[in-house]
Amino acid sequence: NSRRSRLRLASAPYPPHDPDVSDRRSSLGLRAPYRHRDQPRAPYRHYDQVPEAGHGQIIEDGTFITAQNYIQENGQTGLQILYGAIAGDAFHNSAERYPMPRCHPKTREDILENIWSWSTQNDPKTSILWLWGPAGAGKSAIAQTFCQRLSDEGRLGASFFFKRGHPSRGNARKLIATIAYQLARLFPEVKNIVSKIISEDPSIVDQSIATQLQALIFGPCLAKTNEAELAVVVIDGLDECDGNEVQKELLRSIGDGFHRQVTPLRILVASRPEPHIRETFEAPSFQVICQRLNIEQAFTDVRRYLNDETGRIHHQHRETMGIVPTPWPIFDVVEKLVEKSSGYFIYAATIIKFIDDEDFRPTDRLAQVMHWQSIA
């Protein structure tokens, strides 16, 4: 349907293409003059209507202008300028993140259902959801699985997956532009406003987080024609972006935005419960707009994951595992691994990766693991 079609456009990390500008400019041999980075930017023009004699387009000073497009004299639309400031590799479906972490089938079902229920509530008191848990609890896998379901049902507004130390995914200053770009690609009303704002003042992408958030996200989203259609934004790994003060600034700016106006947005923030993050979410100003959800220990889900994955390994390593009876490993071994995991997936996933090495016998690798456990 049309909503899903718009969503795919919003998710794809490529620069927006305007055939009225680029293709026709090329066919007439027109090129924007080279501008050194130290030269001042050209002024901007906005044309609400296009003369009929131009068949929907005109040329002024070597620049094509089309109705409802906001274009610099160097030929860039506002959305193209915005694209230059985003971190496309932070999208939930970016190639840079492949293979993405996801929840194992039939695990984390309760917490995923709670998150989905939150995303459908049109209540200002639950505008933000803080999903928190320790390292290795599975926050990113849950966020990714949630994003995929939102995407499949045409409800994903935007996503950003932080990564510590990464040049773009670790840069909090790219967050707002990246979210605004995805929302603009999804909602035409947002696109028109964002493109106009950036065309008139490209420096907006270099201004404060609070300024960008209001100008490029909260303000434009108020123009959505279908206010009942909530745009869900997922921000994963907030604690992995650059600096505690920036993290607090992001949260305060988001909170201020929701206090300033009722907006058809839902924002999920996943992070570790670092003291400065917990302190911000526990502030009185957040109590009236935020819901909190702890990723608890999941021994049953870890047990299912270990049983399924060791079964897969037994089947795929037929040449070396053909004579090994099933079930493998035996019940007591699985239970020891579950206990050692403390109910979190990171330990179990690390063990499976170690055992599932094609250059070694899985039985030998598992024996090594159990030996290490016995002497630990």
CA torsion through residues 167, 88, 178, 163, sign: negative
Reported as a pLDDT band with limits 50, 70 and 90, residue 74 is low
Q: Are 156 and 232 in contact (CB under 8 A)?
A: yes
8 Å CB contact between 293 and 111: yes
Token pair of 264, please? 């058809």
CATH code: domain 88-294 is 3.40.50.300
Mean pLDDT, the chain, integer: 83
Both tokens of residue 313? 């390994």
Cα distances (Å, whole numbers) of residue 262 to 109, 114, 122, 257, 351 = 30, 23, 10, 9, 47
Tallying the residues shown for the chain, one arrives at 376
Match 């639950």 to its residue by tokens. 126
C-alpha span between 215 and 218 (Å, rounded) = 7
Region 217-239: mean pLDDT is: 88
Domain(s) labelled CATH 3.40.50.300 in the chain stretch across 88-294
- Side chain identity, residue 77: T
pLDDT band at 340 (very low <50, low <70, confident <90, very high): very high
pLDDT for residue 31 is more than 70: no
Q: Is 181 buried (19+), middle (13-18) or exposed (0-12) by CB count in 10 A? A: buried
Is residue 309 pLDDT above 60, yes or no?
A: yes
Separation between Cα atoms, residue 113 and residue 124, nearest integer Å: 20
Q: Note the pLDDT tens digit of each residue in 155-206.
A: 999 999 999 999 999 999 999 999 999 999 999 999 999 999 999 999 999 9
Closest C-alpha to 92, from 20, 31, 149, 15: 149
- When pLDDT is averaged across residues 286-314 and rounded to a whole number, the result is 94
On the CB side of 25, how many CA atoms lie within 13 Å of its CA?
Answer: 23
Give strand pairing partners of 290.
Answer: 128
**Contact assessment for residue 70 and residue 194, using Cβ atoms and an 8 Å cutoff:** no
- Enter the pTM of the model: 0.75
What's the N-to-C CA distance of the chain in angstroms? 56
Q: How far apart are CA 224 and CA 183, in angstroms?
A: 11
* pLDDT the model gives residue 318: 87
Residue 8, pLDDT > 50, answer no
Confidence of residue 76 (pLDDT cuts 50, 70, 90): confident
Closest CA to 180 of 297, 61, 79: 79
Asked if 118 and 112 touch (Cβ cutoff 8 Å), the reply is no
Closest CA to 147 of 227, 90, 204: 90
Of all helices (H) and strands (E), which one includes residue 164? Answer: none
Question: What per-residue confidence (pLDDT) applies to 71?
Answer: 59
Give the model confidence (pLDDT) of 85-100 as tens digits: 999 999 999 999 999 9
Q: Would you call the peptide bond into 327 cis, given omega within 30 degrees of 0 as the criterion?
A: yes
pLDDT (0 to 100) of residue 374? 79
- Name the residue type at position 124: P
Structure tokens at 194: 């964002």
Query: Can you tell me the distance from the alpha carbon of 69 to that of 20, in angstroms, rounded to the nearest whole number?
Result: 10
